[in-house]
């Protein structure tokens, strides 16, 4: 993964900074972004792919407040170190899993699962346990707190240089 804003092209910098929030909600969001930036849709698509390859972004998509559409839970597993990578791959293969991450704790693999209903969520959690052969702990949200995880990047637009 890149360590500095300078590791990104000016277009990548704009995409990272300008569309953390307020991404165009339309049938053609990448074309809309391209128009706003004065570049082609292909330029935007190539840059998004480059950002994914660099590990700067994992996905582009909406973020909904928890349990507004469907249901979700945070889940944790205590996985033997020798099995962690394999179990994480299995967990990530489920479409209902948003992401997973390792923590330094007895429960060392954490992930978020979303589903259309409580019944489907229970089914997915059961399937994860069956496929990984590890029990999991479901930690459904009791109270929600909105934390804006966006951050402003200093980028080429501040200097006036921008490759179009």
Domain hosting 79: range is: 71-139
Q: Is 131 a catalytic residue?
A: no
- How many residues are given for the chain? 164
Same domain, 58 and 81: no
2-35 tens-digit pLDDT: 456 667 899 998 888 888 777 888 899 999 999 9
* Mean pLDDT to the nearest integer, 113-120: 93
Does some domain include residue 153? Answer: no
Here the CATH number for the domain that contains residue 122 is: 3.30.70.3460
Q: Where are the beta strands (DSSP E) in 30-159?
A: 71-77, 97-102, 109-115, 136-139
Does some domain include residue 146? Answer: no
51-80 tens-digit pLDDT: 988 888 877 776 666 666 688 999 999 999
Q: Are 77 and 136 in contact (CB under 8 A)?
A: yes
Catalytic residue of the set 14, 99, 126, 155: 99
Does some domain include residue 160? Answer: no
Same domain, 75 and 98: yes
Does some domain include residue 108? Answer: yes
129-141 tens-digit pLDDT: 999 999 999 998 7
Q: What is the pLDDT of residue 24?
A: 83
Domain count for the chain: 2
Q: Are 11 and 43 in contact (CB under 8 A)?
A: yes
């Amino acid at each position: 993964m890149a360590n500095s804003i300078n590791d990104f092209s000016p277009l990548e910098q704009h995409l990272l900074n300008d569309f953390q929030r307020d991404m165009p909600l339309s049938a053609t969001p990448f074309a809309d972004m391209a128009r706003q930036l004065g570049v082609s849709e292909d330029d935007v698509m190539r840059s998004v792919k480059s950002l994914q390859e660099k590990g700067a972004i994992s996905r582009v998509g909406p973020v909904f407040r928890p349990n507004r559409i469907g249901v979700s839970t945070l889940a944790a597993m205590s996985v033997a170190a020798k099995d962690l990578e394999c179990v994480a791959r299995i967990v990530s293969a489920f479409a209902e899993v948003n992401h997973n991450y390792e923590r330094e704790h007895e429960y060392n693999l954490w992930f978020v699962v979303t589903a259309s209903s409580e019944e489907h969520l229970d089914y997915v959690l059961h399937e994860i346990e069956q496929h990984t052969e590890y029990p999991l702990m479901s930690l459904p949200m009791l109270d929600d707190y909105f934390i804006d995880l966006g951050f402003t990047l200093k980028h080429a637009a501040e200097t006036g240089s921008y490759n179009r």
